[in-house]
């Protein structure tokens, strides 16, 4: 089993405009007999799942998402050698099967920039590609970037890929890591906290020997 999640910690990188991350002792072992940490973070911190309600009015919140939707065979699409802010078009995805698994992972190699300014200049997915993948059976789009849509230093108010995937009652997983060397077909599980809100941090794993 391989962990595909970034560790959470104080002052880690977040999407522009999201709440900062702070962990602080609430109870201490020596003083209180138990250690408890107070957490301050947004629902889209680190490796996380976007529920439809993230960008869709009236969409499902994460507590209404079944874990069955987030565990299963996945297709990993590797697109290497990308420039900053390059858009991944349909031809760049290679030859796609007529039907893709419910989980599709886009591996751009950008996870290595997480925590740096360059993470904001990540590649994005062409909405036409997201639409094609959805038409061929994708229910969960997972990426190794801050977003499948472009990001700038102030964030963005335009989320066309989110609109396609979440608008179709699908799910988006962001900020995966550790995808190097995985086969193009692999079983993946993503396990978010069951929060009745628009998203939640998750532990993502690939089931490999």
Whole-angstrom distance, CA of residue 43 vs CA of residue 137: 27
Other beta carbons within 10 Å of 194 = 12
Ordered by start, the domain boundaries in the chain are: 2-207
Q: Cα angle vertex 193, ends 55, 181, to 5°?
A: 85
Query: For 16-51, what is each residue's pLDDT tens digit?
Result: 999 999 999 999 999 999 999 999 999 999 999 999
Helical spans, DSSP H, in the chain = 29-32, 127-135, 160-167
pLDDT in tens, 163-195: 999 999 999 999 999 999 999 999 999 999 999
Select from 1.10.8.50, 3.50.50.60, 3.50.30.50, 3.40.50.300 the CATH code of 2-207: 3.50.30.50
């Amino acid at each position: 089993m391989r962990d595909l999640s970034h560790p959470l910690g104080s002052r880690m990188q977040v999407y522009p405009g999201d709440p900062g991350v702070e962990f602080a002792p609430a109870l201490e072992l020596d003083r209180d007999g138990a250690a408890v940490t107070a957490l301050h973070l947004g629902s889209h911190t680190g490796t996380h799942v976007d529920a439809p309600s993230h960008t869709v009015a009236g969409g499902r919140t994460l507590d209404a998402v079944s874990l069955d939707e987030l565990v299963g065979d996945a297709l990993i699409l590797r697109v290497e050698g990308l420039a900053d802010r390059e858009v991944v078009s349909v031809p760049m995805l290679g030859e796609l099967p007529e039907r893709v698994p419910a989980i599709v992972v886009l591996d751009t190699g950008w996870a290595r920039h997480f925590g740096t300014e360059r993470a904001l200049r990540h590649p994005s997915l062409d909405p036409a590609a997201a639409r094609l993948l959805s038409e061929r059976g994708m229910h969960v789009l997972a990426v190794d970037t801050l977003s499948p849509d472009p990001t700038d230093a102030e964030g963005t108010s335009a989320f066309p890929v989110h609109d396609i995937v979440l608008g179709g009652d699908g799910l988006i997983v962001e900020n995966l890591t550790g995808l190097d060397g995985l086969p193009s077909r692999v079983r993946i599980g993503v396990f978010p906290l069951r929060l009745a809100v628009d998203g939640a941090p998750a532990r993502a794993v690939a089931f490999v020997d």
